[in-house]
Amino acid sequence: MKNSDMKKSQNRYSKTLADIVRDIIWAQWNRLGLNGTGGINRYSVDIESSLIAAGYGSRLDGRLYEGVWSWIQRYDSIINAERFSTLICESHDEWIARFFGALLSNINPAQWKGVINRCRKMCSRSWKNTPLMIDFCDRNWRSEDPLLKEWGIFYDHIKPRDKMQNSDIILRNNALMRYRYLYGTVMRADVLYLLSISHGTQAKREIDFLTSARLADRLCCHLSTIHRIQKDLEEGGFIEQARGHEIKRLMVTWQIKDIGFLRKEEDYDVGMIDWNKINGHLRAVLNLANLFQTSPSEAILKAKIQEFQNDFFPILLDHEVRISREYGSALGPLEKYSVDELFNTLHKTLQSFYRYICGLP
């Protein structure tokens, strides 16, 4: 392949990967109440993890930046600020720290002081101003936002537009939000929410069986915290111990007792999605997309695609996304495959995940 042809292909690869990442992030936020592009996620939601994903998605679509700003202004009381700041720190990504430090400073610096301070501690002196890669805005921007610029981010000064669904619709379709309004932004609300999904899933997959350790991992907290909450909820009559069936019969989990006024709507919360891992996966996809634009070596691209698949495809297998294994797992067998063939397998798998979470054929 000529260098010029390869460069065109690499630019196409990069844009295609960015597009599918944008679609998956929008699917999360369409479920949480924004009116955006693409399908609507039908699986469990994770507000704080979706906020982290929005930090990356906002580099691809300015409408997402506007929408999340409006969403935070309306639903700030049900965001778990401590968990949110923990996920920002665990991202180990200065872009995320600066983006949310600037965004929250623009919204309400007094209310978000704790999160903003943790963001500020992640900022280094060597940071270079990074523009957002906006390709999907339908208006002409005017002046730079001075507050975001102080955080090292070039972005235009805007007033967010409210493009959300009706509040009744949003809350009806999102049990986690209702649980938090009822119990507060505390860990036990999230435990009840996740257990209610697990108990209500008709055809359980491995990921739908929530042991104590899995709950602790999903909620980014200590196992002792989960044990304490489970004991309190058992004593209060909200949950009871249960065991899996057949090969999962040795797995001890808990099922939530029926709470009529929190019964989920049909076709929503149809199963578990580990959004912390999936959104980390999306970040890796964007890094791979950037590599396509910067690396001139076909051999390096082959190796990086295979490395990505080995590291991240098991996450999709956990969610029962079918993955084609048409070629070997070591670098040697890859030599007979072109970058285009490897990329098509990668893109097909990401599209399958997108259709999976949106219930698309």
- The 3-state secondary structure of 234-264 reads HHCCCEEEEECCHHHCCCEEEEECCCHHHCC
Confidence of residue 138 (pLDDT cuts 50, 70, 90): very low
Same domain (yes/no): 186, 152: no
Same domain (yes/no): 33, 151: yes
* The pLDDT of residue 199 is above 90: no
Confidence of residue 196 (pLDDT cuts 50, 70, 90): confident
CA distances from 359 to 41, 51, 239 (A): 8, 22, 29
Same domain (yes/no): 289, 224: no
297 phi and psi, to 5 degrees?
A: -100, 125
Confidence of residue 225 (pLDDT cuts 50, 70, 90): very high
The pLDDT, as a whole number, for residue 27 is 97
Residue 66 in any domain: the answer is: yes
Mean pLDDT computed over 92-106: 93
Same domain (yes/no): 97, 149: yes
Mean pLDDT of the chain: 84
Residue 140 in any domain: the answer is: yes
The Cα 336–Cα 328 span in angstroms is 10
The Cα 297–Cα 287 span in angstroms is 16
Residue 8 in any domain: the answer is: no
The pLDDT, as a whole number, for residue 4 is 58
State the residue range of the domain holding 230: 176-262
Beta bridge partners of 154: 131
Same domain (yes/no): 248, 284: no
Task: Using the structure block, give the residue that is written with the tokens 């108990």.
Answer: 199
Which tens digit of pLDDT belongs to each residue from 16-74? 999 999 999 999 999 999 998 889 999 999 999 999 999 999 888 888 888 999 999 99
CA distances from 99 to 112, 226, 289 (A): 14, 31, 20
Count: domains in the chain: 3
The pLDDT, as a whole number, for residue 327 is 55
| H or E element, residue 130 | strand 130-131
Q: Please name which of 250, 277, 15, 238 lies closest in space to residue 133, comparing C-alpha atoms.
A: 15
| H or E element, residue 312 | helix 298-318
Mean pLDDT computed over 289-298: 82
Residue 7 in any domain: the answer is: no
Same domain (yes/no): 118, 222: no
Same domain (yes/no): 106, 134: yes
Residue 206 in any domain: the answer is: yes
* The pLDDT of residue 214 is above 60: yes
Which tens digit of pLDDT belongs to each residue from 242-286? 765 554 666 778 887 766 556 656 678 889 999 999 999 999 999
Same domain (yes/no): 122, 25: yes
The pLDDT, as a whole number, for residue 201 is 82
61 phi and psi, to 5 degrees?
A: -150, 110
The pLDDT, as a whole number, for residue 221 is 92
- Whichever domain contains 201, its CATH number is 1.10.10.10
Same domain (yes/no): 71, 152: yes
Query: Which residue, of 220, 236, 262, is where some domain finishes?
Result: 262
User: Helix axis angle, 187-200 relative to 212-219, nearest 10°?
Assistant: 120
Mean pLDDT computed over 105-129: 91
Confidence of residue 139 (pLDDT cuts 50, 70, 90): very low
Residue 271 in any domain: the answer is: no
- Residues 153/132, Cβ–Cβ less than 8 Å: yes
Query: Which residue, of 166, 195, 225, is where some domain finishes?
Result: 166
Residue 14 in any domain: the answer is: no
Residue 71 in any domain: the answer is: yes
Mean pLDDT computed over 309-335: 73
The Cα 336–Cα 333 span in angstroms is 6
Same domain (yes/no): 154, 37: yes
Same domain (yes/no): 213, 102: no
Query: Which residue, of 262, 290, 306, is where some domain finishes?
Result: 262
Region at 237 (left for phi over 0; alpha for psi -120 to 50; beta for the rest): left
Task: Flag the least confident range among 202-211, 237-246, 321-330.
Answer: 321-330
The pLDDT, as a whole number, for residue 259 is 64
Same domain (yes/no): 225, 306: no
